[in-house]
Amino acid sequence: MSEEKIAMSSAERRASLSLAGIFGLRMLGLFLILPVLSLYAHDLAGSTPLLVGMAIGAYGLTQALLQIPFGAASDRLGRKPVIAFGLVLFAVGSAVAAAADSIYLLLLGRILQGAGAIGAAVIALVADLTREETRTRAMALIGMTIGVSFAVSLVLGPTLAHWIGVPGIFWLTAVLSVGAIGVVFLVVPEPEHSGRHRDAELSREMLGGILRDPTLLRLDFGIFALHLVLTALFVVVPPLLVEELGLTTSRQWLLYLPVVLVSFVLMFPLVFLAEARRFMQPVFVGAIVTLAAALLLLVWLPVGIWTVGLALVAFFTGFNVLEASLPSLISKAAPAAAKGTAVGVYNVAEFFGAFLGGTLGGWASGVYGPEGVFLIGAVMALVWLGVALSGPVPHHVSTRMMAVGALDQGEAQALERALRKVEGVVEARVFADEGTAYCKVDRQRLDEASLSEAMDWARAEAEAAG
């Protein structure tokens, strides 16, 4: 019954890899511009620090507003057409940004880029194309591509800006987006049917409970604060590297590459301690403290290549640990059958954080300079620390999804009662209409034999009814 014992089929692997590639390329297009956009935008007609910051974070506003509507539209109009439409919007936005000769056109381009909010539709298509027992791995693959895209962009963005210019990066992302449309229709398999997946999609009937859950709200505030601070940082760090350290855009990879490598090396043992050794609370809180300390170092220490490098290593170590831990904590904290709703709200909070971070960072840089941005970021991190300490981190549980077949309501309720009696099952929900059981389990205590026995009974009942 263990999810790890069930191998992905070739169709599931093809679907997971192709959709992860589409999602990763789109995120790469957004991330590549982060290390170079503030320098480029300052030279455009009509530019002000506030408008530059807004241009950096503007994609987050339309992402946040349209993520859920795109997911709902994919239920009615089909996954692939909605994904293709989002990629077209992203390509058009990239083209507008590439051709922009003023800050206002750049801002419009970034808004259009964000309007191609295909995340929810991609996740729903992954759910259509995978079984319950293999879906978690497919989702993890998409999450991994986002992390890799961000790390690669820090090194590749400045290098590409030197070779082809910032407009060239925008044109490149436009071309890649058009190519991704071909992948959607030619490579991604056609789902046999599209249905509701409570683990992957937002459910309106569960939204109220998610928005009232204090643990989930603390985590939503966390991702909001994390991406606010990150986006604000990229408003001022690229100009700082040029003006204070003499690192032209073509040479900034010399700083970003060791920062990325060292921060990833430091991240992995910390994430292992948090997840495998169940030290999530100290690791999580320590990462927030590291984030705040790194920003305060940028305020207090004299600007130099070693001090800035040290502060950035500390910042991205904390950032990487938190970026990896927060989705895991959301999964642990969300009700067994409402993970998709919890993740949807979480993603909206993330993108609003990016928008507000760019806007706030632009305003603060114009009024107070880089130190003001770093100080605001540190204060935000300390506020987050207080929020995180106001309640415990979620228990170490994982969600197990299992297909049970067509049960009537009485059989579904009977299976629910049986699952709740299994040692190690913390929560269980069975939905007759979906033919799926959702369980929150403590893997260290789980009685796999009893769980299998309950599921075998349910499947026998479903076969008899069929």
Rounded to an integer, the average pLDDT of 291-302 is 95
Is residue 5 very low, low, confident or very high in pLDDT (cuts 50, 70, 90)?
A: low
Rounded to an integer, the average pLDDT of 139-160 is 89
Is residue 4 very low, low, confident or very high in pLDDT (cuts 50, 70, 90)?
A: very low
Rounded to an integer, the average pLDDT of 312-331 is 94
> Is residue 193 scored above 80 in pLDDT?
no
For the chain, the average pLDDT equals 91
Rounded to an integer, the average pLDDT of 378-407 is 89
For 42-51, write each residue's pLDDT tens digit.
999 999 999 9
Cβ atoms 213, 206 nearer than 8 A? no
Rounded to an integer, the average pLDDT of 189-208 is 80
Is residue 336 very low, low, confident or very high in pLDDT (cuts 50, 70, 90)?
A: confident
Is residue 75 very low, low, confident or very high in pLDDT (cuts 50, 70, 90)?
A: confident
Provide the terminal-to-terminal Cα distance of the chain, rounded to the nearest Å.
Answer: 22
Q: What pLDDT does residue 359 have?
A: 98
Q: What pLDDT does residue 11 have?
A: 87
Q: What pLDDT does residue 385 have?
A: 97
Higher pLDDT, 36 or 394: 36
**Six token digits for residue 190:** 């056609």
Residues above pLDDT 90, as percent of the chain: 64
What are the structural domains of the chain?
7-201 (1.20.1250.20), 213-396 (1.20.1250.20), 399-465 (3.30.70.100)
Q: What pLDDT does residue 465 have?
A: 67
**Six token digits for residue 104:** 């206002």
Phi and psi (nearest 5°) for 32?
-55, -30
Cβ count within 10 A of residue 86: 26
Q: How far apart are CA 186 and CA 189, in angstroms?
A: 8
Q: What pLDDT does residue 1 have?
A: 42
> Is residue 2 scored above 60 in pLDDT?
no
Closest CA to 348 of 139, 465, 177, 207: 207
Higher pLDDT, 397 or 363: 363
Strand order across the beta sheet in which 398-403 lies: 398-403, 436-441, 425-431
Helix, strand or coil, per DSSP, at residue 195: coil
Q: How far apart are CA 443 and CA 425, in angstroms?
A: 9
Is residue 388 very low, low, confident or very high in pLDDT (cuts 50, 70, 90)?
A: very high
> Is residue 405 scored above 60 in pLDDT?
yes
Q: How far apart are CA 158 and CA 251, in angstroms?
A: 8
Higher pLDDT, 272 or 205: 272
> Is residue 226 scored above 70 in pLDDT?
yes
What pTM value is reported for the model?
A: 0.93
Q: What pLDDT does residue 419 have?
A: 92
